[in-house]
Every structure is written in C-alpha cells, then in structure tokens.
A and B are shown apart, each in its own frame.
Chain A
C-alpha cells in the first residue's frame, strides 16, 4: 500500500473543499490525508451488518411547522456581519459565468 496520496488527489479534494494547498503544504497533506484515509479503510473489516441505515439517532418524525410568518431581520441586520455590501445588497466578486448555479 502506498503511504501517501498523489499530488493530484490532494489538489482534487482541496478543490472540493475550497481549500488552498500551497506547494509547501502539498507533501504534508499527501501524508496526513492518506493516514486518515487508511483509518477509514478499517470499515471494510466489518462484515455481517444489516442494510438499514441510521441517518441520525432521531427519536421522532419531523413535526411540521404551521405556515405562519414570524419575525424577520431588518436589512441593516442582514448586512451587519457581511464584509462587503452596497445599498441593501451583499456584494461578492463578479461571477462571470452567468446562470452557472446548479442549485435551482
């Protein structure tokens, strides 16, 4: 078994997590991440478990909320902690690729 991840593997997960890995850090992460990934490989030692999953140790099903409006923030409060804002908007560097969002 190799004892470190490839540089590409580290850079891929760094990209997924939006973490910058500098050239100096790369080597360190190659080893450290590999160590943790070796740890989690131990899951493959487990056999004879049933398919049922536990997402979380929930006790109840979801109690639905009535569709009644509650208090909202003043736009000023929305901006209070935002590092950059203009008028009532929160501002970020221009996102060049319009409609890129995949969410909706």
Chain B
C-alpha cells in the first residue's frame, strides 16, 4: 500500500501538491479489491465511471479533504446509472434513474464511488448471508462472517481496499459488522442523514452512516452526509463540524453501563474486554456506573414487530410492474404478483414480510403493532432519563465475536438476537457508534458501542477518539 494507509490529511496534501492524482488512488483501490476478490465485498464495481470521474478531477482544484477520495457505497443506496440491487434477485438488473441524496452529497465533494457493496438482502439479516450474491467474508478470518447487514462495506474497509464506506443501520447493521471487523461505524441520530434514495427496510429505524477505520475519518464523512433534505421530511437541519471535539479533553464525564449489556447473554471474553476499557475510563477520572434500564431487554421484540411490519409495506412495491424482475407470462395479475415476489425474494425476506403482514392484519395491529409503538415511546423516555444523569451509555456492541460463515441458518430468531445490544439505539432514534477495543483469543475484533443523546454525535466522536488513542487498535491510520 502506498497511499491508502496514510492519514486523510496527508493524502489530501499529496493531491493538492499534484504529487499524486485521483487515478493513483483508484489504481491502488482496484488492485486491492482484485487481490481480495475472494472476500466478495462487492456486488457491482464502478470502475469505468470511477476512472472517468478521476480523470475529470485532474483539472479541478482540490477544495476539500475528501476530494478525489474513493468511497464504497452499500448496495441499498440508489446510484443513478449504476446498478443497485439491495442484494436481491428481484433487483438484480435494476439501474436507478436518480441518485440518493447522500450520493449527491458525495459527488458534490468530488469523492469517487468505486462500487456497490454486498449486504443482506434488503438489509434483512445480521451476517450478510441472505445476499443473493453470496456472503462477504471477514478479512480477519475468511471462514467468518463480517456481520450484517452492511457486511460488504465492513469487509472492504477492514481489508484495506478503501478508507470510506457507506452503510445503513436499521437494527445495528453498521455497528455490528463494524464490531466484527474492527472498524469505526456510526449510526447517526434518526434524521441526521437523509434517507432519500435508501431502499427502505423499516422507515422509522433506517439511517445511513459512515464506516471507516478511524474516528476522524468517520466524523469527516458524517460532515458530508448530514443535513436537512427537502426530499426527506424526517431529516433535520445540521450545521456543525463533527470533528470539532476530537482530541479535546473529557471533563466531568459520567458514563452509564446498563446491566443488561453486561449480562450473561454476552460472552465472557467480550465482557472482560469491555471491563478493561471501563478501567481505562476510570483511570482517567471518568465516572462509570452500572445501571438498570427498563424495557431495553424487550427492544428486540419491538424491533421484530415494527421492522417486520414496516418492511411488509415497504417491500410491497416490488411487484414486477414498474421496475425490477418480473415473472414472464403470468396467468393473471395475482399470478404476476406472487410469482414475481416468490422468485424474486429470498427466504429471510419472504419470512419477514409474511410475519409483518400478519402482525398488521385485522386485530393484530392493535395487539402487537400499536402496543409496540407505545413501548417504543417508553424506551426512548428511558434513554432520556438516563441521559439526564449521564453523558454516555456504553456497552459491548455484540454478544460474541464474528461466527462461522457455515454456522446453521435454520433458526429464524438468530439474526435478530445477534443485534440484541444494538437495536435499542434504533428504537430511540439516538446515535451510537462502534469503536474497536481489542481482539479475542482467536484474533477476532471486539467492539464497544458508545451511545449519546440525540444530536450528540460530536460528543461520541470525542470519547471514541480518546479510546482510540488509549487502545491504539489496529495501527496507525489515525489522523
């Protein structure tokens, strides 16, 4: 590696001084992707267009830190003219006719999209094994999953192909794969990043976020992604620099650790690692309390109801009429629907939309769905209550390290339980970030999540950068 292991500011200087060109970066990126082909991180590469763009950039002034920098985009984010499949057979040949807002923002900064990353089909899963295109592999151990649903983005950044990737997080889909692959992954406040152009899984939970191998780069990319978008009514105004608190001293900081996060659902090894990290905090005069939080042990149940319910509606549009694959020669319209959808969707997706339909049908809407929305409000209030006293909530991101790719997939609850620690954050709409805190005995990354109140991403980066420096996980790509 010549350039891509350097801090972003150095790369920027090289570009600015015309010592290197954007195409040099692309050469390195695509050589690395080729060498790591076996990892199956990508569904579609954008090589031709990427080089075209890189060439164009040669005559444009380098005006920002991310200028000319390659980025990978999760394949559920629409890119005009570039195939976008959501890792589903039903969108295998779908070429969007518009760009997602985040893609427009990336393009405005003249970043270069190198390809679309592998993922769980429609982001439904926790191991990326529901992908129609086969699962990506964990660069730390090719027999292991890289998590999901943003498994391809995690894989490619962890493999060192590229410095930046976009993920999406509905119930941990950024943080959990970041944890399994030793990356920094941020699920921003709900509304911080426009969802326009993100193929919806569960609209009230989905959020796009950055995946990088250090905290600074992560904050830098969030600067680009965030902001009010007139095309997304749920987006919020942002006018801040998320890097501003990085490296600033932590004063009078109080941290809460929910007992649920340290209960026996989490492996001993991970609990130990988190305790070591807590010790680092305490050694630096940060007060850490173990607390009880109501409802968070039920977040997975709420998630199952809300996410499957919304998904059953969001995925209804895939009917083979306006776009996507379509069953040929159906007997009638009903036949077109059922054959297109049965052949187009994979098993996990079909299961979830059937259960979601059931949960919304007839009286069930009251029994399950409305009740879930009520308790969801209470979870959010419970977080608010904790944040009256504490600046952060921390805990392990996952209950285990990455498991084997060939572990059985026959338990439909398993993919939900993998995310038991990350889902509460999506329920409350607050930001959460995974920071790697060490390696397991079998040399797999262990991650910790840092959770803060709404809009406090900058504070999360502050604590994360502090830990990054103290722990010095995985090397020297920091600023």
A82 to B356, CA, bound (A): 27
Q: Determine if A19 and B298 form an interchain contact, defined as CB atoms under 8 angstroms apart.
A: no
What does DSSP make chain B's interface, helix, strand, loop or mixed?
Answer: helix
How many angstroms between the C-alpha atoms of A7 and B411 in the bound complex?
20
Contact (Cβ within 8 A) B376 A54 = yes
CA distance A23 to B326 in the complex (A): 23
Binding site for B on A (CB under 8 A): 10, 13-14, 16-21, 29, 32-33, 35-37, 39-40, 42-43, 45-46, 49-60, 62-63, 65, 73, 77, 80-84, 90, 92-96
B contact residues, range: 35 or more
B368:A19 contact, CB within 8 angstroms: no
Q: Is the CB of A56 within 8 A of B374?
A: no
Q: Please count the residue pairs between chain A and chain B whose beta carbons lie under 8 angstroms apart in the complex.
A: 165
Q: Does B467 contact A (CB under 8 A)?
A: no
CB contact list, B285-344 vs A, under 8 A: 295, 298, 300-302, 304-305, 308, 312, 316, 319-326, 330-339, 341-342
Selecting from B12-20, B154-162, B243-251, B346-354, the interface stretch reads B346-354
Residues on A with C-beta less than 8 A from B47 are none
Asked, given contacts A19-B342, A35-B412, A59-B236, whether A53 binds B377 with beta carbons under 8 Å apart, the answer is yes
Shortest A91–chain B CB gap in Å is 9
Check B204 against A19 for contact (C-beta < 8 Å): no
Contact across chains for A43 and B301 when beta carbons are under 8 A apart: yes
Are A39 and B413 in contact, with the CB atoms below 8 A?
yes
The binding surface of chain A is classed by DSSP as loop
The yes or no answer to B234 lying at the interface (CB within 8 A) is: yes
What residues of chain A lie closer than 8 Å to B368, measured between beta carbons? Answer: 40, 43
Instruction: Pick the most buried of B330, B354, B368: most chain A CB atoms within 10 A of its CB.
Output: B354
Q: How far is the CA of A29 from the CA of B233 in the complex (A)?
A: 37
Q: Using Cβ atoms and an 8 Å threshold, which residues of chain B touch A35?
A: 411-413
Asked if A51 and B298 sit within 8 Å, CB to CB, the answer is no
Check A36 against B319 for contact (C-beta < 8 Å).
Answer: no
Closest to B323 in A: A81
B333 touching A53, Cβ below 8 Å: no
**Which of B27-35, B68-76, B357-365, B470-478 sits within the interface?**
B357-365
**Contact at A17–B353, with CB atoms within 8 Å?**
yes
**8 A-B residue pairs with CB within 8 Å:** A17-B354, A18-B341, A36-B413, A43-B301, A46-B375, A59-B190, A62-B233, A93-B336
B142 at the interface (CB under 8 A from A): no
